[in-house]
Amino acid sequence: MTFDMNDAEPQKTGELIPDGTFAKVAMAIRKGGTDGQAEIDRGLLKASNAPGSDVLMLDCEFTIAEGPHARRKFWQMFTVQGGKVDEHGVSIGWKISKSTFRAMIDSALDLDPADMSEAAKAKRILRGLADLNGITFVAKIKIEPSEDPRYGDSNKLDRVVLPSEPEWRKVMDGEAVPASPSTRARPKSAAPAAQPAWNQAAPAQPPAQAAAPAWANAGASAPQQPAAKPAGPAWLNS
């Protein structure tokens, strides 16, 4: 028996996705074993490992869908419960994450953020956070300097790019968009931009995924039909 290594993927260099890159990305949720509030969110959330913390997070993996950095990945946590609260007792982390999730939906479905019609509002209603699994949207990616000298820098989601921005249409049309690097100053003690490949490695045992959704067929031409109680997210019902 022989092993043909010619069809193996090239060894990863450890180089990061350039700071300020615009790209279409697909988000997958990695289950953390803790139940969320919705029925479909059982075992979905990940608890913080910080002593005494009540924070629950959504552990997300982003894969660039197309373009020069296609199939490159980065990872990010979003707080959905616990942590510091505002004057009304609402988790500040959750408020930030909720705004990001709404922007993802608007970007994925070509919705004007100012559109508050019944049809648009219906598309922003989720049965649970698990409905966000598989959503594809336009993102601006940043390099986040590491605060720990033991680890290298990493790619993170800078922000979701909305349909009202010129970069959104260019990315959706497959055009090349110049990177727009962040203006944030790097800490003096930060390591160089490049980092070891193992710091960008995927988990050894990724969670089981549901059948591939049909949200990829959603687009600007999709009919805006209101729905009082959708059976799933708009990108699953296009």
**Boundaries of every domain in the chain:** 21-178
Specify the pLDDT at position 13. Answer: 63
Percent of all residues in the chain with a pLDDT value above 90, rounded to a whole number: 68
- Looking at residue 204, its pLDDT comes to 46
Write down the mean pLDDT value for the chain. Answer: 84
Q: Which residues partner with 91 through β-bridges?
A: 85
pLDDT for 64-103, tens place per residue?
999 999 999 999 999 999 999 999 999 999 999 999 999 9
CA 146, 19, 96, 87 dihedral sign is positive
Segment 125-170, tens digit of pLDDT? 999 999 999 999 999 999 999 999 888 999 999 999 999 999 999 9
What is the per-residue burial (b if ≥16 Cβ within 10 Å, else e) of 159-193? ebbbbebebbbbbbeeeebeeeeeeeeeeeeebee
Residue 189 confidence (pLDDT): 45
